[in-house]
Amino acid sequence: LREGLDLPEVSLVAILDADKEGFLRSETSLIQTIGRAARHLHGKVIMYADKITDSMRRAIDETNRRRTIQETYNQEHGIEPASIVKAVRDLISNEPSAHALAEAREAYVAGGKMPKDELARLIRDLEKDMKQAAKDLEFEKAALLRDQIIELRQQLEAKDTRPEWEKLRDTAA
């Protein structure tokens, strides 16, 4: 339930063994997990523990600090909090995943069938898709596209047999 999951309808988060120090019970991890319920209008977090650890205390204090700031901002600007409503079908898209698209394009490009100019155009298109995915908060898709862009740029550079000074000149232009 840490960052990266789009679950706005989560109204209850229960953290078992919250007092067990470690990677998933660090202050940062607890704040991220608590944040899942913060997006819901009536969200609640229950931390099961025998004692309150320093990480728990800092996470609770930080969450309360953020809540105070948000409530003050909302009051000053006349904002009435409302939960995000998404249908399950909105979360499960019929569109092919970024991974499936990447595999299909990769199979075509990997065979060396794509000319340099088309490869450059594909990279530009993927960059637009990546920026749109990031704008839409689809960070996993954006990361997959970023990785594919890196691989395609390497292929493009491998196909480019010009001297280094010409490549730099064209990049600067």
Same domain, 62 and 104: no
Amino acid at 149: I
Q: Are residues 118 and 167 in the same domain?
A: yes
| CB 30 within 8 Å of CB 18 | yes
First-residue to last-residue Cα distance in the chain: 45
Look at residue 111 in the predicted model and tell me its pLDDT. 46
Question: What is the predicted pLDDT for the residue at 110?
Answer: 54
69 and 102: one domain?
no
Please say whether the beta carbons of 51 and 74 come within 8 A. no
Distance CA 30, CA 129 (A): 32
What does the buried/exposed string (b/e) look like for 87-98 if buried means 16 or more CB atoms within 10 Å of the residue's CB?
Answer: eeeeeeeeeeeb
- List average pLDDT for each run of 10 residues in the chain, which is 173 residues long: 60 89 85 83 90 94 94 92 62 54 55 72 91 89 90 79 71 66
Residues 32 and 65 in one domain: yes
What is the span of the domain harbouring residue 156? 93-172
Which tokens go with 51?
A: 């004692």
